[in-house]
Each structure stands twice: as structure tokens, then as C-alpha cells.
Amino acid sequence: MTNSDAREPASPLQIYLVRHGQTEWSLSGQHTGRTDIPLTPRGEDEARALEASFRGLAFSHVLASPRQRARQTAALVGLGAAVAVEPDLAEWDYGDYEGLRSVEIRARRPGWSIVRDGCPNGESPAQIAARADRLVGFLSALTGNVAVFTHGHFGRCLAARWIGLDLTAVQNLLLGTACYGVLGYDPGHPENRVIAHWNIAAA
């Protein structure tokens, strides 16, 4: 084999899944889907603090939700120049529940659970699962380090579907503002997708 025939092996896929920094509505607990609000000053500081965690990593792809809070977080982490907007990374469309807190929704609809009941005039759990599965298919074809900047509910849904769990698993996954997880494969069993790390805040 000549040197020109040699090929570097593809780097194993690792997906760095990042939730955006704090916004006024994430602080108040209001459901923020389509509403396009910026980070608070504290949210900006949270995102900047993550830069050290990503320093020195080479990313083959950087993807972000269309919402400015996700794109702003990517920029403050130092990856803004490489960002490609991916519409499927947008937050759950809360429909009639946009801007409401869970306690307000349950006052109208006792026992409501987003992963079971969805949102009127918004997205259903089946629609979210299909969107997450579409992303899983796309992401699993990539190699190397991939950064995705997304949102609280949808980020947890994507992680759950990455490892083949029903969306009800979202209730057992916390993802704080400007925290991230790492999705990938088990090195000993590369056919098995794993959540290697989760809910990591800046050091």
C-alpha cells in the first residue's frame, strides 16, 4: 500500500448536546418554544463559562436551533463561526401553552404531562419523537466531535431517543441552562448508543 492509499480512520462520533444559557423565561419557568428571546446577562456569563470545556476540541459539525438563545450560546462558547442552523433542534412547540408555567397549565388541565399529552395547537409527543428520530438518523451518520445547541425539553427528548427510550424517560433527565451531555457509542459494543456524560456545568 502506498502512502496515497492510506486513510486515517474516522474519529468515533461524540455528540456534545448543549442547552442554551438562562433566559428570562427559563428563570421564571415559563414554557418557551417559538418565542425568540435572548439570553439574560447571567445566561451570557453561563455560556462564556462553558468555553473552557470546549477549548481544544475540534468539531466536525456545529449545529444550532434557529432560536437566538441557542445561536447566542454557541457564539459565546466560541463556536459561532462554524454554526449551521438546524430547524429540527428547535424547542418543543408549546402551542396554546406558550409562556405558561407548568403549575398554570395543570390548574387548567389537572394531571397534564407534556410527554404524554403534548400541547394543543402545538406539537404532540409523537411529532417530537419523529423529529428527534430524524435527527438521530442524521447525527449517527457523522463522525468526530459534533456540537448541537438546543433547548431543555427537546434536548432531553433527543438524548432519550438516542438510546432508544420512550419520551417518558425525559421526566428522569435533568438538563440545566448552559449544561451539556455527551452522546456516543459504547467502545466495547459499538452498536450500542450511550449517554456517556450528562448535565455537566462549567467547571
Residue tagged active-site, from 20, 31, 61, 153? 20
Phi-psi region of 79 (alpha: psi -120 to 50; beta: other; left: phi over 0): alpha
Residue tagged active-site, from 44, 91, 123, 153? 91
Q: At what angle do helices 152-162 and 125-139 cross, to 10 degrees?
A: 60
The identity of residue 5, as a single letter, is D
DSSP lists the bridge partners of residue 83 as: 62
The span from the CA of 177 to the CA of 196, in Å, is: 19
Where b means 16+ CB within 10 Å and e means fewer, 96-113 reads ebbebeeeebeeeeeeeb
Kind of pairing between the strands at 83-85 and 180-186 = unpaired
For the question of residue 189 being annotated catalytic, the response is no
Active site residues: 20, 91
